[in-house]
Structure 1
Amino acid sequence: MKLRHVRAVAVFGIALVALTGARGSNGASCGGGSSSSSSDSNSSSSGSGGSDSGSSSSSGGVTTGGVGGSSRDKAQRDVRIDECKISDDGKNLVAKVTITNSDSSAYLYDVSLQFKGDPSATLALAKAEDVRVEAGASKSAEATTPYTGTGNGSEYTQCVVVDADRTIG
């Protein structure tokens, strides 16, 4: 293969990674690091999305940017999961999130998260609704759902954003 072909393949590979790899997991464990499993139900990760205008969101020390897409996709990228755990009283699963709005308008966010874990874990969904985030600001929110298991919640090892939407508010 000639040198110019190698360069062309390298440039194509970099462009492909830049276009597809820019949509990170937006997840963080309790310690603020990358997503991982844990026996105390304190790790987390979130889904990826798109964007309705070129802004960025930060999570776990990694910043990802958007260049176009739907409002739902943009809303998902604006959400960072800070912590997923069982409440101190053992009655609820709790996801703590930070929503960062880098646009020039205030928005109302609705975020749905799913708690995941081993096969014995029942489907658990939590929502944070009507979270108003001013333009250029960040806001913390909690999404909770009753814990219906019989143990200590350790069957849930992570939570992920399964849906997010925003409307001008």
Structure 2
Amino acid sequence: MKMRHVRAIAVFGIAVVALTGARGSNGGSCDNNSSSSSSSSSNGSDNSTTSGGTSGGSVPGGSSSADKAARDVVIDECTYDPATKNLVARITVKNDDSTDYDYNVTMKFTGAGSDVLPMTAIETGIAVASGASAKAELTTPYAGTGDGSEYTKCEVTRASRF
């Protein structure tokens, strides 16, 4: 196959993903301005709150395995744990498929302000049987010196199942 054919196929594939990926869910973040249903919870160390809600992953819509895995993840709570000095995301993974899966989830913690460095947490091998759900906790060490209140948002940046 000639190089120009390979390039044409790659461009076509990107166009298809861009066009079909733009439909569907409301996005993949969980913050105080989210349009998804949410429940608010205190982080235990001060009066700031973060929201939890359904996460659609970083690519809305679509029908790939990653899109389906991201839609299976619900963010229950994003908080700072003063006892462990970790940023914590508590999630529920619900498997509505007829096959048992292991899920891998990557979570990004962010906040308002230019001095807030994005933090990432990864949890792998979350086993979820067909028709069941499982809870998991993603944690990453807090790099700041305060109470973690500057981190107001968490979002699923990647999810996969196998």
**Which TM-score applies when normalising by structure 2?**
0.69
For structure 1, the residue ranges without an aligned partner over 5 or more in a row are 1-18, 52-65
1:6-85 to structure 2, matched below 5 A, reads 20=23, 22-25=24-27, 33-34=37-38, 40-44=48-52, 46-48=55-57, 69-85=63-79
Q: Could you tell me how far apart the structure 1 residues matched to 2:30 and 2:57 are?
A: 13
Residue 156 in 1 paired to residue 151 in 2?
yes
Structure 2 residue 142 is the aligned partner of structure 1 residue 140: no
State the Cα RMSD in Å.
Answer: 3.0
The alpha carbon displacement at 1:71 in A equals 0.6
1:40 touches 1:153 (CA, 8 Å); kept in 2?
A: no
Instruction: Work out whether residues 27 and 81 of structure 1, in 8 Å CA contact, stay in contact via their aligned partners in 2.
Output: no
Give the superposition deviation at 1:121: 1.2
Cα distance in 2, alignment partners of residues 26 and 161 from structure 1: 6
2-structure distance, mates of 1:131, 1:72 = 15
User: Percent of counterpart pairs with the same letter?
Assistant: 44
Aligned residue for 1:143, secondary structure, equals strand
- Cross-structure match for 1:3: none
Q: 1:25 Cα shift?
A: 3.7
- In structure 2, the gaps of 5 or more residues are 1-21
Contact 2:96 2:130 in 1 (8 A): yes
Whether 1:115 aligns to 2:123 is: no
Determine helix, strand or coil for the equivalent of 1:74: helix
Q: Which range moves more in the overlay, 74-83 or 121-130?
A: 121-130
Q: Secondary structure at the match of 1:93?
A: strand
Question: How far 1:120 moved relative to its partner?
Answer: 1.5
Distance 1:33 1:69 in 2: 23
Structure 2 distance, partners of 1:133, 1:50, is 22
Structure-2 residue corresponding to 1:127? 122
Deviation at 1:127, TM superposition (A): 1.2
